């Protein structure tokens, strides 16, 4: 285990994946998480994720690790047993959920919001809220497998239609309907990142 100050440096693109930690998730989502992890490893991207070994979290991390990719897990100490920390990869143990999200944000260049539960929803909303407040301009991609995020995306549009959020916010995120589409979008963000460096 390491602390936030001990995170090994990484020069490529770091992709934060927010996703579910439930082993009862539909197999199609678990398979997609594995395919995403494999794709990140093939592309040379580093996976930044919540540190767990269960559900989609475990699937994406194991696949990225098995594929030879770099993986950084960020796990609050109180969740080590519940989410079964995946200790085979670089893992930082933090004290709170807030510290977890902040470190994941700081260590990432782009975010993928894959299917998940209430925790994933909370992470996505905070990420979008920060973007609305101009606290970051990092790309956000919803992996909308089987229309998983359709209701949330409709709620955001409703919020815009009711005048609560400016129409420009509809361009604050992208949507991908498949892992292949997500990986294509990540290739584009990687090219932009390389140009900026």
What is the pTM for the complete model shown?
A: 0.93
User: Cβ(55)–Cβ(89) under 8 Å?
Assistant: no
102-137 pLDDT, tens digit per residue, is: 999 999 999 999 999 999 999 999 999 999 999 999
Torsion of CA 139, 140, 145, 147, to 10 degrees: -120
Q: Is 137 helix (H, G, I), strand (E, B) or coil?
A: coil
Tokens 């990986």 identify what position? 183
- The strand ranges marked E within the chain are 14-18, 46-49, 71-76, 90-94, 110-113, 140-143, 174-176
**Beta strand pairing status for 46-49 and 140-143?**
unpaired
142-181 pLDDT, tens digit per residue, is: 999 999 999 999 999 999 999 999 999 999 999 999 999 9
pLDDT at 80: 72
pLDDT, average across residues 51-69: 96
Has residue 5 got a pLDDT over 80? no
**Beta strand pairing status for 71-76 and 46-49?**
parallel
pLDDT at 73: 95
Has residue 1 got a pLDDT over 50? no
Q: What are the structure tokens assigned to 111, written together?
A: 């975010």
pLDDT at 62: 96
**93 vs 197, residue with greater confidence:** 93
DSSP 2: B
- Name the least confident of 58-72, 87-101, 111-125: 87-101
CATH fold, domain 11-191, is: Rossmann fold (3.40.50)
Per domain, the residue ranges of the chain are 11-191
- Residues contacting 90, CB < 8 A, separation 6+: 2, 7, 8, 70, 71, 72, 73
Query: Which band of pLDDT confidence, cut at 50, 70 and 90, is reported for residue 77?
Result: confident
Q: Give the span between the Cα atoms of 72 and 176, in whole angstroms.
A: 24
**132 vs 1, residue with greater confidence:** 132
């Amino acid at each position: 285990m390491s602390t936030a100050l001990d995170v090994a440096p990484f020069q490529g693109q770091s992709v934060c994946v927010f996703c579910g930690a439930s082993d009862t998730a539909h197999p199609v989502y678990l398979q997609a998480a594995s395919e995403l992890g494999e794709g990140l490893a093939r592309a040379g991207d580093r996976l930044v994720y919540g540190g767990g070994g269960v559900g989609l979290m475990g699937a994406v991390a194991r696949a990225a690790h098995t594929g030879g990719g770099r993986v950084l897990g960020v796990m609050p100490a109180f969740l080590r047993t519940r989410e079964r920390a995946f200790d085979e990869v670089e893992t930082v143990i933090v004290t709170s959920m807030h510290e977890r999200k902040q470190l994941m944000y700081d260590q990432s260049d782009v975010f993928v919001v894959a299917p998940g539960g209430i925790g994933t929803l909370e992470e996505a909303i905070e990420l979008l809220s920060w973007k609305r407040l101009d606290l970051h301009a990092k790309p956000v991609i919803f992996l909308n497998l089987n229309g998983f995020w359709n209701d949330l995306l409709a709620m955001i549009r409703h919020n815009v239609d009711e005048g609560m959020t400016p129409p420009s916010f509809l361009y604050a995120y992208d949507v991908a309907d498949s892992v292949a589409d997500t990986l294509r979008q990540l290739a584009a963000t990687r090219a932009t990142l390389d140009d900026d460096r």
